[in-house]
Structure 1
Amino acid sequence: MLNDEPDPRTPPEAAGDPPARPNGWLLLIYRIPSEPTRLRAAVWRRLKGLGAIYLQNSAAALPAGPAAERALRKLRREIIEMGGTAVLMSCGVLVGEAEVLAAFQAARDDEYEEIIDKCQDFLAQLEKEYRAEHFTYAELEENEEDLVKLRNWLAKITDRDVFGAPKRAATLEALATCEHALEEYAARVYAEEAESQ
């Protein structure tokens, strides 16, 4: 990389650093009218998209940070506009921080596991192309788009993974395997196209 920032794809453990410890938490406690239910679903999706974990119903936590605070302040304002109530707090965990951190790590590992599953699907799709002898630029382009989606999805998760969840390294390996497999498939496409001309 050209700057001094660490590569977000490199797990902290691989760089020799221990996983970071929380530097405080942001806690959003809210109430939303029960009807229409789409409002509750919208808030839940937004919180999950931010990587928040639920400590209990309507109480979601994120590691403290400027971006997380901006996002939760905005969501708080939207909840109030929906006719609900919301309080955003900055806090530390007096007792039970290990459990909160474990829940946050488990949420990231679940997301990483989804990517690993999608990587397996990607490799199965490439294998299907080999079996069907589909070596065309159209198929290559479609598979390249799928790989870009996986990379973008991984980037979102690594942005949320501020403590370096355990499955991060396995996910990076799975994506690297997909990238290598696609390179081999592309070489085959180019060779087949050259032979047909």
Structure 2
Amino acid sequence: MAKPKTEFAVNQKIVYPSQGVGKITEIFKKDFNNEPTFYYKIYLEVSDMNVMVPVSKAKDLGIRAIVSKEEAKAALNSISEDFEPPTSDWKLRYQMNLDLLKKGTISDIAAIVRCLYHRSKVKELPILERKLYDNAKKLLEDEIAEALGISDKEVEAMLHEKLEPLGLRIEKKPAFTDEDEDEDEYEEDSSSSEKDSDDFSSEDDD
């Protein structure tokens, strides 16, 4: 079986949606269901884990190259742009942002950070949304750092500069709304369903 033409090369940095920035460390052939299949071996630094992804499935999983400097700067600048405030129904807001996270473009990740930062200044985020915000912010910082060739700390400071004026423009609302009544129950349901919805993500090769 001849080696297929691959979109990514060994030692290339990529983005694996919901997982973060990774590095292609190997492209190899392995039998799967008695069929020879080519795989990418990807090292994910944020979780210190190696995963194997079939070359033919990489596009379906949203795996992509690191964005250009221009795209990274555009995503960073979009944080401070005016936008429609997010819905107060946190379950709907959570699902919308989770869908964006799975799509995994840098503009989608920036939109999640902006949306949830905005909401956090109105009312403290539920636990699931807080985790989603932290995850999206880390993904954004890591990719922008790679694209611009700077440190995560520098990007974190740049993000803070974009987010802080946004927070100052937001008027605080009452701490309780009807939409938040069943927060805890929803978090329990979502936590269990989240575990079942991981794509191909964590196939450790060890």
TM-score by length of 2: 0.29
Question: In proportion to residue count, which structure has more helix?
Answer: 1
TM-score by length of 1: 0.30
Question: In proportion to residue count, which structure has more strand?
Answer: 2
